[in-house]
Structure 1
Amino acid sequence: MNRIRFVFFGELKSPWAAQACRHYLDGLSRYIRYDTAVLRDAKEAKDHTARKRKEGQALLAALGPRDRVIGLDERGKAHGSKGLASKLSEWIEDPGRAPCFVIGGPYGYSPEAEARFDERLSLGPYTLPHELARVILLEQLYRGMSILAGHPYHHD
């Protein structure tokens, strides 16, 4: 499909995170088309369960039938940079589906949202702030695309 989608919750508040995300998205755009959906987080929910449910509903509404949903989750698989590049190649070469990377809200995903995941991707065993997770994901995808293109950004 040669396109990547992103679904994130909440606007970036820190100038450094917004600048870093723009930097890696600019680099990524040299290799592939992308689109981003930024969903409103459900801060008004009365408790964590209600918040996850409300954000899960918004996430499911934002997903298309051809999205290969890759949820970022500490319980997911960590591929390493070259392994992620290989998976990225597989995902973007699928003519019927586009990889759609999702970073959920601070309390995780609802069971309904998790049921929609095709894969889970881990950035490591750490719990990361949303903004930092977004920067790391974008950098690793840029790195993966540069590996696939034979660009010298990645060093062994």
Structure 2
Amino acid sequence: MNRIRLVFVGDVKAPWAVEACRHYTQALERFVRCDVALVRDAKDARDPVMRCRKEGQNLLGVLGPKDRVVGLDVGGKAYGSEGLAAKLSTWLDDPGRAPCFVIGGPYGFSPEARTRFDERMSLGPYTLPHELARVVLLEQLFRGMSILAGHPYHHA
């Protein structure tokens, strides 16, 4: 079975987001194995730059050499559902590298973490709260896998 990695800074706390993430992760796992890694946020950092640097170090510590790192970033490429499905197909067909979707902390990514990105992807032009971004990513990954499997979930 193919594998997708998901790396997130910090933990989800709001009950609605915890439930939504659980729901979509379980749904996604019908199609692909999901490895989820949570890295410690740097709330103790005094300023946003230091916070990004600390979180970037934490991220770099969990990214493997065979990960195809897709950083979620407002400046990245925005795919429609069918476009994301096509990219997922391409990424999953590469036996040497697993797609690894990364969502940073509230101040984004450090320059060091950005250098590790193979691709940058956007969920759209909106600024989303961290917890909502996770839910949207998981739902879109599930939708993309549903499209690839010919499952009726997606009907546009």
| TM-score interval, normalised by the smaller of the two chains | over 0.9
Q: CA deviation at 1:111?
A: 0.4
Segments of 5+ residues of structure 2 without an aligned counterpart are none
CA distance in 2, matches of 1:13, 1:22: 12
Q: CA deviation at 1:61?
A: 0.5
Query: Partner amino acid for 1:32?
Result: V
Q: Give the corresponding residue for 1:115.
A: 115
Aligned pairs (5 A) from 1:47-66: 47-66=47-66
CA distance in 2, matches of 1:84, 1:21: 19
Q: Give the corresponding residue for 1:139.
A: 139
CA distance in 2, matches of 1:146, 1:11: 27
Q: CA deviation at 1:44?
A: 0.4
Deviations 1:42-97 (A, max 9, x none): 00011111100000000001100000000000000011000000000111110110
Segments of 5+ residues of structure 1 without an aligned counterpart are none
Q: Give the corresponding residue for 1:29.
A: 29
Query: Partner amino acid for 1:24?
Result: Y
Q: CA deviation at 1:10?
A: 1.1
Percent of matched pairs sharing the same residue: 72
Query: Partner amino acid for 1:108?
Result: G
Q: Give the corresponding residue for 2:91.
A: 91
- TM-score normalised over the length of structure 1: 0.98
CA distance in 2, matches of 1:123, 1:56: 21
CA distance in 1, matches of 2:7, 2:41: 12
CA distance in 2, matches of 1:127, 1:152: 30
CA distance in 2, matches of 1:49, 1:27: 36
CA distance in 2, matches of 1:102, 1:71: 5
**RMSD over aligned Cα atoms:** 0.8
Question: How many residues are matched?
Answer: 156
Runs of 4+ deviating beyond 2 Å? none
